Structure 1
Amino acid sequence: MDERARVLLKTLIERYIADGQPIGSRTLSRASGLELSAATIRNVMADLEDLGLITSPHTSAGRVPTPRGYRLFVDTMLTVHPVTGTDDVGENFRSQLATVEPQKVIVQAAQLLSNLSHFVGVVMSPRRNAAFRHIEFLRLSEQRILVILVDAGGDVQNRIILTDQPYTQSQLTEAANYLNANYSGLSFEQVAGHLRGEVEHLRSEIVTLMQAAVAVGSQALAEQQEQVVISGQQQLLNVEDLSGNLASLRRLFDLFEQKSHLLKLLDVSARAEGVRIYIGGENDVVPFEELSVITAPYEVDGKVVGTLGVIGPTRMAYDRMIQIVDITAKLVSNALSQR
């Protein structure tokens, strides 16, 4: 593709993002600044269409970008300008986070992303060290036991286990003391391995109790790790490109409800450096052609622990969204690292 075609493609996509209307040759001639005849521009647009970069809706003579066209645009043509108004937002966000616990940082970050972008903000909660710091057992009845678990980050989880046999409180205390003295700081997977091979000297009923506690504790931490905070789903109802298609909106809200695909996407993003852009329809990471996702990892003390991002229509101001996501990732990293 020669420079002339690149300029026309860049201009077409920028005008379409701004106006939301298919772009005709006359509009493109005025906006591009190139002294080309309408016939020449039509020929270039036909070539771009043959390359799969633009397409012509049935209802218009103008052209709109395809996912492939958007990908070329964001990878090679996009110019990112500083977003105005984010300095004050950043200061307010820092002050709000000064005294709140980590989970509230995550919630407020999702709200900030949605408020700044006017789309959907998503944040994957920090990956936690799947280890326990302390465990206690409390006898509720003969065969119902409350497991009180403190994880490596200091968060407390309560779970109830049902046993096949009754335990006295002294037996529960013995089991908890053994786990705390020998395995505190290990992951539950490591503890389970030790319990299978190193505790022949313990009574079998105590080992059974500890194995049940390890299983329920591992599940509790896994549930915590899978948390995704979503804010601003209703913003999509105001997006012209989406609001007219109820079937698409229903599929999108199913995506937010199930969260499993979002988790997969955010987990992939956490293994990449910097801001990443996923354009709907170009691969199976974002299965909806109407959506694009901009993500960035965030860190605690220099180590990536999670991902955040913005979900919005494919026709979005990518330069602005990149800045919003990048700034929010830095704010969250700073807030969590200062804990």
Structure 2
Amino acid sequence: MNTRSREVFRRVVEGYIETGDPVGSRTLTRDFSEKVSAATIRNVMQDLEFFGLLNSPHVSAGRIPTELGLRMFVDGLLEVDQLNGEDRKKIDTTLSSDDSDVPMLLDRVGSALSGVTRGASLVLTPKHEAPIKHIEFVSLAPDRALVVLVFADGLVENRVFTPPTGQTPSSMREAANFINAIAEGQTLSTLGALISREIQARRQEIDGLAAQLVESGLALWENEGEADERLIVRGRGNLLSGPESKADLDRIRTLFDDLERKRDIAKFLDLTEEGEGVRIFIGSENELFSLSGSSLVVSPYMNADRKIIGAVGVIGPTRLNYGRIVPIVNYTAQRIGKIIADRS
């Protein structure tokens, strides 16, 4: 782009992000850096449209950026604001609690992040990675059982799950004995692969129902909604409160359908694995919400060993105020990581 087309492009994108409306040539001529006619600007817009950076929703309307245009703007022209004092204070106030319950703290972070950004916030809580000391299965009813997990660091977790049909207290004890024989020193994340190998190698040595229970128990640790790995969504109302068109509301509903359908929410962390900083996913670039045309601004947080253990993010329409939201997400992730590292 030359200087003129770059300025036209930047002003169209910034105008669209601010208002959500198409930007016309006459609007741009009012405060353009040089004296140019509306016809000249229309010609520049047509060139930008030809290259796939802008789009015209109606024949006589102005232009809006395409997903490709937004990506180009974010990568090359976005000016990231400084985190303002009021936003910093709100985040710090939320994170200043002495509550030792990290999931509760992250739940409050989700609410605070949603309030500050006026978007929907996402928080993936860290997995508990301490080695396992002991596992016990307790039958509560024909269709309900309790697994008691004792970790080497002293933490005890109780989780209720639905066992496979036909399980007895005896078969559950067999399953627990089998797991405890190989679980010492293993974390939940490493135990799954180890048990799978053991089942294949020793399938003749264990009862078929016990193996089924083991496999079902493993699914419990990986599925959506468990304490060690859950997605916190806050601020749905923020996405539904604006003057969006019916098409926008349909996309928002699709977004939350995506959220509710996703079973392997660990993919949320995969979005951040290519780097430590904030990443921006626009529309169809974002596999997690590929159908909704939404944007995601996400940043991982790390433990004391600099290992990524979770992530925080903000989702919303593609016309998010990226310049303001990027430093908020970045600061929140850094603060969470420091708190978790200090407590550990």
Q: Say yes or no: TM over 0.5.
A: yes
- 1:272 matched to which residue of 2? 275
Cα deviations by residue, 1:96-125 (Å, 9 ceiling, x for unpaired): 2x2141211221222122111111101122
Which range moved further: 174-183 or 85-94?
A: 174-183
Cα deviations by residue, 1:199-249 (Å, 9 ceiling, x for unpaired): 99xxx67x7786466434322221235521111112111133356655334
The unaligned stretches of length 5 or more in structure 2 are: none
Is the contact made by 2:131 and 2:151 (CA closer than 8 Å) also made in structure 1? yes
Secondary structure of the 1:269 match is coil
Using the TM superposition, give the Cα deviation of residue 26 of structure 1 relative to its aligned residue in structure 2, in angstroms: 2.3
- 1:318 matched to which residue of 2? 322
Two-structure CA RMSD over aligned residues (Å): 3.4
Is the contact made by 1:188 and 1:217 (CA closer than 8 Å) also made in structure 2? no
Once residues 189 and 261 of structure 1 are traced to their aligned partners in structure 2, the CA distance between those partners, rounded to angstroms, is 17
- 2:149 matched to which residue of 1? 149
Secondary structure of the 2:31 match is helix
Number of equivalences: 331
- 1:240 matched to which residue of 2? 243
TM-score by length of structure 1 reads 0.82
- 1:338 matched to which residue of 2? 342
The code of the aligned residue for 1:217 comes to G
- 2:80 matched to which residue of 1? 80
Once residues 141 and 123 of structure 1 are traced to their aligned partners in structure 2, the CA distance between those partners, rounded to angstroms, is 34
Secondary structure of the 1:278 match is strand
Which range moved further: 262-271 or 214-223?
A: 262-271
Secondary structure of the 1:274 match is coil
- 1:113 matched to which residue of 2? 113
- 2:307 matched to which residue of 1? 303
1:158 is aligned to 2:159: yes
Once residues 26 and 142 of structure 2 are traced to their aligned partners in structure 1, the CA distance between those partners, rounded to angstroms, is 82
Paired residues for 1:1-339 under 5 Å = 1-58=1-58, 60-84=60-84, 85-96=86-97, 98-129=98-129, 132-138=132-138, 146-151=146-151, 154-159=155-160, 161=163, 167=170, 172=173, 180=180, 183-186=183-186, 187-191=191-195, 193-194=197-198, 197=201, 211=211, 214-223=214-223, 224=226, 226-241=229-244, 245-260=248-263, 264-281=267-284, 284=287, 286-288=289-291, 290-301=293-304, 302-339=306-343
Once residues 13 and 74 of structure 1 are traced to their aligned partners in structure 2, the CA distance between those partners, rounded to angstroms, is 10
Which range moved further: 132-141 or 20-29?
A: 132-141
TM-score by length of structure 2 reads 0.81
Cα deviations by residue, 1:250-308 (Å, 9 ceiling, x for unpaired): 32331232234865344323443311111114575542464211111111111101222
Is the contact made by 1:159 and 1:216 (CA closer than 8 Å) also made in structure 2? no
The code of the aligned residue for 1:298 comes to Y
Once residues 181 and 81 of structure 2 are traced to their aligned partners in structure 1, the CA distance between those partners, rounded to angstroms, is 56
| Identical-pair percentage | 34
Which range moved further: 262-271 or 114-123?
A: 262-271
Which range moved further: 72-81 or 6-15?
A: 6-15
Secondary structure of the 1:338 match is helix
Go from structure 1 to structure 2 and tell me whether the alpha carbon gap of 1:23 and 1:176 turns closer, same or farther (over 3 Å shift).
Answer: closer
Go from structure 1 to structure 2 and tell me whether the alpha carbon gap of 1:123 and 1:152 turns closer, same or farther (over 3 Å shift).
Answer: farther
Once residues 144 and 240 of structure 1 are traced to their aligned partners in structure 2, the CA distance between those partners, rounded to angstroms, is 46
Is the contact made by 1:270 and 1:306 (CA closer than 8 Å) also made in structure 2? no
Secondary structure of the 2:121 match is strand
Once residues 193 and 49 of structure 2 are traced to their aligned partners in structure 1, the CA distance between those partners, rounded to angstroms, is 54
